[in-house]
Amino acid sequence: MARVSEIAAKVRSKNAGPFWLTIDIFCGSAEAFDRLRGALGDDRVARALGCAPAALKRFDIAELSVIKFSLPRPQVQGSIRDRDMHGASFANLVAELEIEDA
């Protein structure tokens, strides 16, 4: 077992406007990209982020070895229940997912 953060070069998250959150997994190599693409199913990522799988947008970009997820923000940015104004911490939920050995 290894965490996504141990396989990928970088995982970051950020607001894409006040109503969307976007998470970029920079895999760093074609090999890591293939491994993570296979292991990170939509259901699993959606569950980690607390959103419905149907609400998750996914982009597997082989040329950049990047997997990108976008989702409606769990709480609108800056609303009373929001805890993270810039959405920067959500990346950790994906970075800390455990991946089975290849």
Among the listed ranges 1-9, 36-44, 61-69, the one in contact with another protein (CB under 8 A) is 61-69
Read off the tokens for 76. 């609108």
8-state DSSP, 23: E
d(CA 58, CA 55): 10
d(CA 32, CA 73): 27
CB-CB contact of 9 with 28 (8 Å)? yes
8-state DSSP, 63: G
Q: Does 101 bind another protein (CB under 8 A)?
A: no
Binding mask of the shown chain, residues 71 to 100, with x at each position contacting another protein by CB under 8 A? -x-x-xxxxxx-xxxx--xx-xx--x----
Which residues in 8-27 contact another protein (CB under 8 A)? 14-20, 22, 24, 26
Where on the chain is the footprint of another protein (CB under 8 A)? 14-20, 22, 24, 26, 48-50, 55, 57, 59, 61, 63-64, 66, 68, 70, 72, 74, 76-81, 83-86, 89-90, 92-93, 96
